Amino acid sequence: MIFFSGFSLQNEEELFFDYLNNVKENPYVVVGFSYGAIKALEFAANSSERIDKLILISPAWFCNKSKAFIKTQLLYYKKNADAYTKTFLKNIAYPVNIDLSKYIVPATLSDLEKLLTYSWSNELFEICKNKNIIIETYLGGKDKIIDAYEAHEFFRQYSESYLFKDVGHILRGYKV
């Protein structure tokens, strides 16, 4: 399995063990979490290597955000990248309180800008479809980062899209 990490993260694939357990030893599976989902899609579409499955976990979906929202996010990051990242990690952990500090790596302003302004390309999905790559998308209904319901409507055009109502961005939630 090839795994692409989310914004300001590394080695967080262990957080998704329940979702990836049956594919983690498979060299023909590409997985991306959040910002990493962008990289995973681009990799799968542009790779000449065999890929059987592409898994997008909480793909970064900011297509519905205003230019003012994006500008504000970039300004907050420029003002204090560490504080921005800590708040971001708290929001991706919601609705559970999990310490994500062991996964943090420095990110760049250009990474954040690409994350916030990325336009998901129909063409890349079509390329993957023509390569017979199976695409699965996993989203959490309590996501504080993206509008998971709107993202689900988009991604279900191109993939088997699963929306888990009681979990957040890292696909964890309170057990009832």
Kindly give the pairing relationship between strand 160-164 and strand 29-33.
unpaired
Q: What is the mean pLDDT of the chain?
A: 94
Q: Please give the pLDDT value at position 142.
A: 95
pTM of this prediction? 0.93
Query: Is the pLDDT score of 174 beyond 70?
Result: no
Q: Please give the pLDDT value at position 136.
A: 97
Angle at 119 between CA 114 and CA 123, to 5 degrees: 125
Cα radius of gyration (the chain): 15
Distances (CA, A) of 83 to 36, 46, 139: 21, 35, 26
Q: Please give the pLDDT value at position 24.
A: 83
Residue 27 · residue 47 · CB < 8 Å: no
Return the DSSP state at 9: B
pLDDT tens-digit readout, 130-165: 999 999 999 999 999 999 999 999 999 999 999 999
Q: What is the mean pLDDT of residues 85-104?
A: 91
d(C-alpha 1, C-alpha 46), whole Å: 17
Q: What are phi and psi of 98, to 5 degrees?
A: -125, 140
pLDDT tens-digit readout, 102-130: 999 999 999 999 999 999 989 999 999 99
Range 2-164 classified under CATH 3.30.413.10: no
Q: Please give the pLDDT value at position 176.
A: 43
